[in-house]
Amino acid sequence: MLNVVLKSLRNICSDGAVLGVHTFPSLEPLFFWGGRIIDPMPIICTLYRRSTETFIRRLDAAGHLHRTLQIEDIEFVFNISDFTVSPWFFNHRLFEPLTTHLVLDCLRPGMTFVDVGANRGYFSILAARRVTGSGQVYSFEPNPAVMADFKTHVALNNVENIVQGSDLAITDSAGHEVELFISTCPTNSGLSSLTPSEEMLAQGALTPANTIRVRTETLDQWSEVVRIDKPIDLIKIDVEEAEDLVLRGMTRLLKDAPPHRIVVETTPHSPAHCSLSEYGYHWALLDQDGDKFNILFTHPTAVQAQA
């Protein structure tokens, strides 16, 4: 009974705080500042988390979910309910901070970035801001609902001349139709996969009843069509258990024009890891999520290119 009463009081306090901020937007900085202080505190941290959920619902109802954010010297517009930017907006915690800094630190004007599993475009937009008008960002996201949000973010950030988005599923075969399992998790659209894990199926985050048909492409085939005439500067591959398939479909690139850097979400010594090691890549661990890491693979030519 006491828990019910305390939960009700928490909800009244948090919703009242959000109502005040909604009525007087000038209070937003104070709201966020106070929230970031109590967020690490046990028990009362749920007060701020409830407030952020209510805040997002109110903004969504008003059609104002897109906000301007700043990471280092990069300013960009993004939907703050998205799992990639929500921690930054509300708690000043970067999504995959080591990978984020890698994108910001490695890319320069004129470079090329390929985003395989782009989701709503967090890394693509940051990369576009770095490579500017003389560079190029190629992004692949086969989930049509997520791709619609991706296109919105590209348009809001005025980077249509830099970012080319595609709904093709990058794998080890081209020109086929395959099943894509669509994430049923309302807070993480990034779980969609061509090769769902037993864990995701057991949890119900992916189900055979929630799939769509998507067209496939390989990076080798794509690069011939686009006519990439120099090694790609940075590729990010995050395709939920299908990373090795992506690498199998880019063997020509790896042999003839090895990308300077490749970030792969995988586990150490996985097939994807071993494959890139065989091509001469050195590796380093970046961000960890459970038993998986974003692993940075750097080719020796990257050092020569920067010299």
- Please give the share of the chain, as a percent, with pLDDT higher than 90: 61
Q: Quick check: 293 pLDDT over 60? A: yes
- State the DSSP string of 240-306: TT-HHHHHHTTHHHHHHS--SEEEEEE-TTSHHHHHHHHTT-EEEEEEEETTEEEEEEE-HHHHHHH
Question: What is the per-residue pLDDT across 32-68, written as a single tens digit (0 to 9) for each?
Answer: 888 888 888 877 778 888 888 888 988 888 888 999 9
**pLDDT for the residue 286:** 97
Q: Quick check: 4 pLDDT over 90? A: no
Q: Quick check: 130 pLDDT over 70? A: yes
Question: What is the per-residue pLDDT across 198-235, written as a single tens digit (0 to 9) for each?
Answer: 787 887 878 888 888 999 999 999 999 998 878 999 99
pLDDT tier for residue 305 given thresholds of 50, 70 and 90 = low
**pLDDT for the residue 283:** 96
- Please name each of the domains of the chain with its CATH number: 2-64 (no CATH), 74-173+221-306 (3.40.50.150)
Q: Quick check: 304 pLDDT over 70? A: no
Average pLDDT on 241-248 reads 93
Question: What is the per-residue pLDDT across 69-120, written as a single tens digit (0 to 9) for each?
Answer: 999 999 999 999 999 999 999 999 999 999 999 999 999 999 999 999 999 9
- Cα separation, 219 vs 181, in Å, equals 21
**pLDDT for the residue 1:** 61
**pLDDT for the residue 210:** 85
Contacts for 92 with CB less than 8 Å, ≥ 6 apart: 36
Question: What is the per-residue pLDDT across 166-188, written as a single tens digit (0 to 9) for each?
Answer: 999 999 999 999 998 888 877 77
